[in-house]
Amino acid sequence: MTEIQERLDELKELGLYRRMRLVSGPQGPRVVLDGKPVLLLCSNNYLGLADHPRVREAAADAAMRWGVGAGASRLVSGTMTVHRRLEESLAMFKGTESALLFGSGYLANTGVVSALGGAGTTIFSDELNHASLIDGCRLARGETFVYGHCDLDHLEWGLQQAVRDGDGRRGRCRPPLIVTDSVFSMDGDIAPLEGIVELAEHYGARVVVDEAHGTGCMGPDGRGAIAEAGLEGQIDVVVGTLGKALGSYGAFAACDAQMAAYLTNTARSLIFSTAPPPPAVAGAMAALDLLFEQPRRVERLQSNAAVLRDALAQEGFDVEGSTTQIVPLVVGDASTAMRVCEAALDRGVFAQAIRPPTVPEGTSRLRLAVMASHTKDELREAARVLGKAAMAAGWRPSVGRPVASGQTLATEDAAGSSAHQAADAPPPPRAGGVFDQQAESIARAA
């Protein structure tokens, strides 16, 4: 037996083994999964645009006009008129001077953060940021301080230490960099963006916000959490994706013209990647047009999310932490989460189990994702199915613990400490950490 097989066997024993499931046909509220019809409750196709006729037609027309692939990186010969048109539309949508297309959200975040977080920069990262922001911090040559989830006091304490040690306004030429998701992908909660901006202004920091799960899902005309908070024009770089609410593939960084020029020359994930394929770009442009024309899709998404949360609460699930289209059902144990997932699947609802290292140890969950194209009856029935699936799997949602063992969920503090190892910050307000140490601990858990 090789060490590879030993590691695979270990993952199975820990309840952390993963496999790909096969979807037949387009992404919609109902799909055929591994040959079985199911209600899809874990797709990021939030507005239901991935299979919209206008989006599909735009992608097909683009393939005939520009071809399937871009053929080269953006700085060689890969930038085509279709790319520039979408960038102009995205800049207008986000209220910025410029927008810069990337191949994916992962590439955008790693490229932007590593470009802005050079030597001499202290990067401040929320402990529950997406892996792409985490890896951007690891690729950057600056030091990373991990602050408690949405903890403005902890963030300010870290900024004070950075200023005291000579960063930011009092010394080095590179200002601190704060990076955060706007909507956190596994918990469905929203970052305290107004407070982050206030701290950034006070301490002379730049701010990068990943709006992957906010764009198209909230705010005026679906412009995102930043617009909802009234902070347009106050964020240095807004990262967004084309692969979720906009139903296509790729990502963008919205910013001023000077920042776009800087990222064009320094973001390695842009410089050394083939440009996004024209059909995906054209499909995203058609989806953006639909969002402009039909903003009520966003209202429908939010209404559907409220219906699902209410129905889940009636089944005894704790859904108080989420206010968005992402609704986590935190189970705790990874194997139990998988049993609930399989029990729901047997009953016709696909709600994927999310386990470490995607989420902290002891917080495995079913991550539910609502779409505007779900019907309210479908969502109410899904809640009933999930309640039955939980009991069948031996987990009582009303008390948040397995039925047989009575094992309680990990506390928030324990989950946070497993995700972010403490460094040398004293008690006020919570222990901080150098990010590389935290990331290595997660890698070992994987």
Alpha carbons 131 and 63: distance in angstroms, whole number: 32
Handedness of CA 179, 236, 231, 153 (dihedral sign): positive
| DSSP annotation string for 6-75 | HHHHHHHHTT-------EES--SSEEEETTEEEEE-S-S-TTS-TT-HHHHHHHHHHHHHH-S---SBII
Helix (H, G, I), strand (E, B) or coil at 380: helix
| DSSP annotation string for 296-323 | HHHHHHHHHHHHHHHHHHHTT---TT--
Say which of 132, 182, 185, 364 is annotated catalytic: 185
> Which residue is listed with tokens 């060689």?
76
- Residue 74 burial by CB count (10 A; 0-12/13-18/19+): exposed, middle or buried? buried
Residue 405 designated active-site:
no
Helix (H, G, I), strand (E, B) or coil at 124: strand
Alpha carbons 369 and 329: distance in angstroms, whole number: 11
Whether the CB-CB separation of 52 and 287 falls below 8 Å is answered with yes
Residue 52 designated active-site:
no
At residue 360, what is the residue type? Answer: P
DSSP 8-class letter at 408: P
At residue 421, what is the residue type? Answer: Q
Say which of 244, 269, 364, 418 is annotated catalytic: 244
Q: What angle do CA 81, 85, 86 make, to 5 degrees?
A: 120
Residue 213 designated active-site:
yes
Alpha carbons 389 and 178: distance in angstroms, whole number: 41
The radius of gyration of the chain from alpha carbons, rounded to an integer in Å, stands at 22
Give the residue ranges of DSSP H helices in 117-249. Answer: 131-139, 152-164, 193-203, 225-228
Say which of 213, 322, 374, 417 is annotated catalytic: 213
Question: How, if at all, do strands 395-396 and 401-402 pair?
Answer: antiparallel
For residue 310 the two structure tokens come to 């209410």
The catalytic residues are 185, 213, 244
